[in-house]
Chains A and B, each alone.
Chain A
Amino acid sequence: MLEELNKDNIVQEDKKFKRKELTDRIVKLIFLFIAIICASFVIFIVIFILEKGIEPFVKNYSLVEGEVVQQNIGLFFTNTRWLYDGNGGMGFLLLTTLYTTLLSLIISIPVSIFTALFIVRMAPKRAKPVIKTCVELLSSIPSVIYGIFGMGVICPIIQMAPVQTFAGNSILSASLVLALMSIPTITMVSINAIEAVDKSMINASIALGASNAQTNLKIVLFSAKSGIFAGIILGVGRALGEATAVQMVIGNNANGLGFYNPLNPGMTLTSAMLSGIGEASGIGYDVRFSLGIVLILVILMITSILNVVKNKMDVIKTKNSTSVIKKIGKFFSSDIAFIRTYFNDKFKKDSK
């Protein structure tokens, strides 16, 4: 009697346990499914934009009745004007994008590194969190507001220049706005990097007789350089992809020959995508997706190049990095070493 009851109990327990495990597995699978969906979105994004971006080169559009146009592939790379009727050239858009980003980096890198240094090493103890919070708040302000500030404050300042400008709308004002936007990003990452520097290293430097300024510049910044570089990569990504603020201040000049002068109005990839979107249709709408492909490629290329550089900087990470990157690094380093020795020899001979 008792044995039977026990048996029953065991069978029931076993069933219960099995059911529990079944639900556990199903729940786990559901969560895995959700995670895979979340991760696969980026693949869908790229595939769909690629498909739509190739369309202007292949499909026939009718702008005027009876006339059929396609995006001209040759002109897409060589034309110096950006047009939405199939003859536009994106070459100068690309150059302007890179140029604007470079100008903004020239301003934002020193400012943000020294701001981080100031916050971590020099600010009064209680003022430190206040300034840090200020920078955090600055990084959470949306880009439209930077755009208002650019239009309302920076453009009038640029307009005061003795040279004639397009109401202050210029590549320079765009890069100033971009610099303002990327300063908080770079600063926040740099603060973390500088705070992580080993205290003993700083103390050793001071014990050896270096002044505070020397320690800051030569020990702290040098040890934190990899972390700071990570911040710069983030800043570059933000500057390359920024659309609204840039479109508001850059002037949207479709003729690209004057892009070398920072006081000229210009047009970047993102601002070309955004300008006149309300009335766009047909090829004028679809060609923006081709620009999107170019933008994705540029961002991918630049960030991966910068990441390779960063991995080379960070000795510990190079050891763990994948072999492909290592090989590429070795390939370049041996070449560069060869070139360096070649020029060194030549220089020695000349000096003799």
Chain B
Amino acid sequence: MNGELLDVKTYGRAWLDGWNRFWFLPADPLTLGLLRLLAGAVIFYTHLAWTFELETFFGSRAIIPAEHRALLNDGMSFTWSHFDWLPSALLWPAHLSALVVMAMFMVGFKTRVTSVITACLVISYANRATGAQFGLDQINAFLAMYLAMGPSGESFSVDRWLKARAGIPLASPCVMANLSLRLIQVHMCVVYFFAGAGKLLGETWWEGTAIWGAVANLEYQTLDLTWLASELWLVNILTWSTLFWEVSYPFLIWPKLTRPLWILMAVGVHLGIGLAMGMMTFGLIMVVGNFAFLTPAFVRRWAAPLAR
């Protein structure tokens, strides 16, 4: 009995140590800085594009009524947006100011403040555009949120450049950098797990033809892949490998042995979707999310000249 209790205690202690190592080891903020630069660029472009249809989607008589969100949610809506109370005259100034803040976040200028404002803006725009938002906004929002939590302006940034000029040494590893990266990693696993699990309900994913359904959809198509109609074995391989990769992602992205392959698959799949189905912004932001799994050593080796 005592031996069993000891085992439980030992197991509990090991589990706790594992939890602490996972979340609370200090980490180099280098990877976080790279993510800020890349995610910041996608976020900036996403909102710059809104400029072409600003009045249509965010004006006082926007195409999606403001009450649409409340009616979606049984009358109780916490889908806040600053556009709900913004006077019409301030629509353009507010949008241009938002773009300036997002550009500052992207280049890492006054990052501590601009990261928090950017995260709020991303959520606010996406909420107001309920009905026209999609995966891009969802990934943009959580990346911006986690990047605002950690020291994402400590590398690849104007802030870092200014500090270097003032002789301030590089930021040392810190727990918040690790926490931010871990939250991005875990969130990516949640996204892929449910994306994969949802596909397991679909017969075309099981019979290996789902990729055909994606490339043969004219509304999405930007690259003609209809030649795949004559190469159905390839459609089968692409479908099943995508399914296996998504479902196994939460498990096989962690081991050192499989991680590089799973990241490479992510780059291939998402850039492929971006090129063939016209969703390059979504493809890019998913690739950026995957870069949370790059080690600081890897980032330092490949991008050091830009970082500091």
Question: Do A and B make up one complex?
Answer: no
